[in-house]
Structure 1
């Protein structure tokens, strides 16, 4: 029988970094990290072959996959001591994409899968009600959007689940989601379920139905519009397909001894050889990437959790020496314990690419030939020629607000509050600046069309920053003095 499922972590690892075509970059590197002794939550990868079969056969799975997935879940249960669908001690999993070529945020992710209206009560007894309802509301929002297709209700490009969160925070006088109580989050769960029902959908209460729905949605996301646009922009073949990674959840939202972050082994903007990244306490990974809250610089973790910070520095050294390139890592801290959720070759600006290549030759990591081959003249060298403001004119200008410099150069243009508007203006020959609270993967075409990107939230590892660096786009992120009102179509 063809092997469709490859295990990693929990004392058994089937794959390696050399198997990216089959396991995708994420799955292959998770297996590699597990083999290196780096702490990785146990999981399994469903191969890219299954994705291609699924798409070619009208959303059907190959024979034998169901039994292999059941064995994969059994592996997670044995490794964690939890049981999938159990009322008292439930195993929760994440379901993530992972193509052979990195496509940050272009395909779909579902976290905390395995909860339902009854299981959340058992989890609340075990871990506390605030954590349990926080996990459940995240699942409902992700599953509702990704699997059930519940999208913007008003046509203003606003996610209905985000809108419900913002409305509740305003009602409760909460500055952020951390200020909401367990009762508030239970109310948010009720509102999220209403949003799903209003859309004519139903959230499945059976964890196995949830799992198969999520797996199918991730495979289908290979052909969603944003993924197709991203592949066209980056000359990625349409035939590769994505793997699916199912992994035991570790929780960064268990309190102040827990957190999540994204880091680079070198500065992706300048190439400087320093550990560079951001994190949030009491949060899950999507919070950092999506720019829900503006995160803290990684250096502050040394003060808040010195032992975890030392472990991260050791992982940084090990991964960069092993892969011989700058790495982009995602991590979670669960009650003081560090876990790595991803490593991949980090996206960088043209400035950074040249500096990293030169310094890695000097450090003996690579030779001169490899350094030259790492520089893409069409993309990275062109970034070195980006226009900048005249220093004298810049000195005269009135400063309206400040943010973080996420992309190279300078730009001017008309304000576009949606990706569609940015695309329309570009087609009319008018330069546009895409202005958002934070960008999402759905904005990719507008980000490519705009001359620059400005966000009021997020940090240097947010979606806007990562994509801007990769495509050489001028970007300022986390400009918290900026107020963006989508409904009134104005900024202040």
Structure 2
């Protein structure tokens, strides 16, 4: 890990890269990991806010009194949803006139102030009066969330050192709540398959918090293309450029404010090893990677494993359809809470929730599969399921809503490859393996696949 990435954290590091390349990033500052460890300095925070207000006025057209801040964690390793985020921090009743003038709506302005107050109450129990006190308290709350139970469990599960510590990003907010506005998440490739092309979702008139939390089932990108065609065209171009530059599958969170596009975050996308392999092969075929680099990036385990199966059609009652968020098939007893998952230890279970919260991580990690009634491809449930390798269907719509109240079976089969949920146990079908002979050659008859790959890659590894 580079020193800069450790000081700025993963989120701050990537925002710095985007800003350095001239992409439209809302004005931000990073409170470094060292500064966070030392403690929040109100004088330093006041200076930071003054700088951001001045910069936001120049770059974003925001009146200084209308600037709201998003305060987000920036751990050195991405930990999606495990630490706290506070939005619309720094607003008070005095902000409403300037914010209403900027947004064109006093109601939207008051709603934004209330969003900030609600976040502060949730995380602090009180709402500090001054903007500086609000931001100082928000930074402290984000810092302290590094030590919460879900974050500790996540680090344990992913072997992330406890000696690390987070930075904190303070960023002027672009407002996605008005006309021709919204927020979304996009990927350079389909994280389930690695297929190239803009893939993601969009929620009109939203801040993005509900999208990432999985509290809404979003529209596809066709809605963005229809409502804000110029923003869509720019986003498509930017994501393709960023992939060619970073040479890995990327995920970008964005906000559109009255037709103007802002990139809020970029990171390496969470996807299965097989999907990352497909991206690597495609990058080699298109000349982005040379052959030796491509070979060293391939996951041999994924190349040697059979493709993800899918549930066979027509063998059981179809209960629900939704978004295929994480490939694979899982069968198990339905449970409705993380605590129930642990109570059925040793038995395969499927976690069925309206949405998942960061507190559900342990239950998700110990489930065979996951279903949520809300959420989209970039929701907490989808991201964590792909990271854990758990088949998942999100935004599931049950054909008979009464089934949820009076289920006729305790066991279901989740097909995260097709986005379907079946009653009972369903047989699976495994598609043929897609072996990239142009990159890897043809395996001689009677030769072990792993031995062949190890011989092929060992000769070029540094």
- The TM-score, its normalising length taken from structure 1, stands at 0.76
State the secondary structure of the residue aligned to 1:403.
Answer: strand
Partner of 2:145: 221
TM-superposed CA distance for 1:437, in Å, is 0.8
Q: Give the 3 Å change call, closer, same or farther, for CA 258–236 of structure 1 in structure 2.
A: same
1:484–1:491 CA contact under 8 A, matched in 2: no
Partner of 2:187: 264
**Separation (CA, whole Å) in 2 of partners of 1:351 and 1:125:** 50
1:143 aligns with 2:120: yes
TM-superposed CA distance for 1:136, in Å, is 2.6
1:68 aligns with 2:53: no
State the secondary structure of the residue aligned to 1:473.
Answer: coil
1:263–1:328 CA contact under 8 A, matched in 2: yes
State the secondary structure of the residue aligned to 1:279.
Answer: strand
Partner of 1:321: 244
Unaligned 5+ segments in structure 1 are: 1-16, 55-59, 149-200
**Separation (CA, whole Å) in 2 of partners of 1:99 and 1:382:** 33
**Separation (CA, whole Å) in 1 of partners of 2:199 and 2:292:** 27
1:92–1:249 CA contact under 8 A, matched in 2: yes
Greater shift, 359-368 or 232-241, is seen at 359-368
**Separation (CA, whole Å) in 1 of partners of 2:135 and 2:406:** 41
Equivalent of residue 126 in structure 2, options 191, 202, 222 = 202
Equivalent of residue 342 in structure 1, options 255, 261, 265 = 265
TM-superposed CA distance for 1:478, in Å, is 0.5
Partner of 1:294: 217
TM-superposed CA distance for 1:375, in Å, is 4.2
**Separation (CA, whole Å) in 2 of partners of 1:119 and 1:311:** 32
1:438–1:455 CA contact under 8 A, matched in 2: yes
1:49 aligns with 2:34: yes
2:89–2:117 CA contact under 8 A, matched in 1: no
State the secondary structure of the residue aligned to 2:197.
Answer: coil
Q: Give the 3 Å change call, closer, same or farther, for CA 139–375 of structure 1 in structure 2.
A: farther
TM-superposed CA distance for 1:282, in Å, is 0.3
Equivalent of residue 415 in structure 1, options 321, 334, 337 = 334
After superposition, the C-alpha distances for 1:275-327 in whole angstroms (9 at most, x for unaligned) are 10101110011121112221111233222211111111121122112111111
2:376–2:382 CA contact under 8 A, matched in 1: yes
State the secondary structure of the residue aligned to 1:104.
Answer: coil
State the secondary structure of the residue aligned to 1:478.
Answer: strand
Partner of 1:38: 23
**Separation (CA, whole Å) in 1 of partners of 2:57 and 2:335:** 50
Partner of 1:176: none
1:365 aligns with 2:288: yes
2:42–2:136 CA contact under 8 A, matched in 1: no
TM-superposed CA distance for 1:36, in Å, is 0.6
1:25–1:100 CA contact under 8 A, matched in 2: yes
1:456–1:484 CA contact under 8 A, matched in 2: no
Q: Give the 3 Å change call, closer, same or farther, for CA 138–483 of structure 1 in structure 2.
A: farther
1:456–1:483 CA contact under 8 A, matched in 2: no
Unaligned 5+ segments in structure 2 are: 409-462
After superposition, the C-alpha distances for 1:216-270 in whole angstroms (9 at most, x for unaligned) are 0111111111111111111111111111000111100123x11100000111111
Partner of 2:447: none
**Which one has a larger percent strand, Structure 1 or Structure 2?**
2
Partner of 1:89: 65
Larger Rg: 2
Q: Give the 3 Å change call, closer, same or farther, for CA 235–374 of structure 1 in structure 2.
A: farther
**Separation (CA, whole Å) in 1 of partners of 2:126 and 2:23:** 39
After superposition, the C-alpha distances for 1:130-156 in whole angstroms (9 at most, x for unaligned) are 2123213322332222x22xxxxxxxx
Partner of 1:100: 76
- The TM-score, its normalising length taken from structure 2, stands at 0.81
State the secondary structure of the residue aligned to 1:252.
Answer: coil
Task: Give the alignment's Cα RMSD to 1 decimal.
Answer: 2.6
State the secondary structure of the residue aligned to 1:81.
Answer: helix
TM-superposed CA distance for 1:382, in Å, is 8.8
**Separation (CA, whole Å) in 2 of partners of 1:484 and 1:25:** 41
**Separation (CA, whole Å) in 1 of partners of 2:406 and 2:91:** 39
Equivalent of residue 397 in structure 2, options 475, 480, 485 = 480
1:329–1:341 CA contact under 8 A, matched in 2: yes
Q: Give the 3 Å change call, closer, same or farther, for CA 87–81 of structure 1 in structure 2.
A: closer
1:283 aligns with 2:206: yes
Q: Give the 3 Å change call, closer, same or farther, for CA 314–437 of structure 1 in structure 2.
A: same
